[in-house]
Amino acid sequence: MTRRGSTMTARQPRNQREELESEGIEILLVEDTESDAERTMAALRDGKVRNRVVWVEDGEQALDYLHRTGTFARARRPDLILLDWYLPKINGSEVLAHIKQHADLRRIPVVIMTSSQQEQDVLKAYNLHANCFVVKPVDVDQFIAAVRSIEQFWLTVVKLPAA
């Protein structure tokens, strides 16, 4: 897990939502490739929006996190999910289907981030109600730029539902 550093204000939060907002946006990163996870977290850490990224390495851990089971019993509900498509244990399409069928989870925006350019993967993701499908660039600078554009759109332009 990583947390973006920030300056805290002296003002006390008036309610739980304000308190959560002061902690930043909660992002669940579901990625089995360590180098891609590290690059994504670094790009988000250096971005403009205060955030807290929780990284899990497979679909099973993602579902445990979302349902706050096992080691994730005290997890916060994420404001955004960055989901790899090809994952061990439970693949990204199954995780996405579960999220979008679950009443308490379906409003969480899910961004598919994958190396796949297969049209059948794109169609399946959108048919399962993915919010967008992003092909991970191979070039490191382009990868970081893609993550920052996701951050720019989803965390500054879009109004996210309350957790």
Q: Identify the CATH number of the domain in which residue 126 sits.
A: 3.40.50.2300
| Helices assigned H by DSSP within the chain | 16-23, 34-45, 59-66, 92-101, 119-127, 140-152
Q: Which domain holds residue 120?
A: 23-157
Residue 1 forms part of a structural domain: no
How far the first Cα of the chain sits from its last, in Å, is 20
The answer as to whether 16 is a domain residue is no
Whether residue 47 is contained in a domain is answered as: yes
Tally of domains in the chain: 1
Domain contains 131: yes
pLDDT in tens, the chain (163 residues): 433 332 222 233 333 334 444 567 899 999 999 999 999 999 888 877 788 999 999 999 999 999 999 999 999 999 999 999 999 999 999 999 999 999 999 999 999 999 999 999 999 999 999 999 999 988 888 988 888 888 888 878 888 777 6
**Is residue 13 in a domain?**
no
Residues 6+ apart with CB under 8 A from 122: 133
Q: What is the pTM of this model?
A: 0.83
Whole-number Å distance between alpha carbons of 144 and 39: 7
The answer to whether residue 149 is domain-embedded is yes
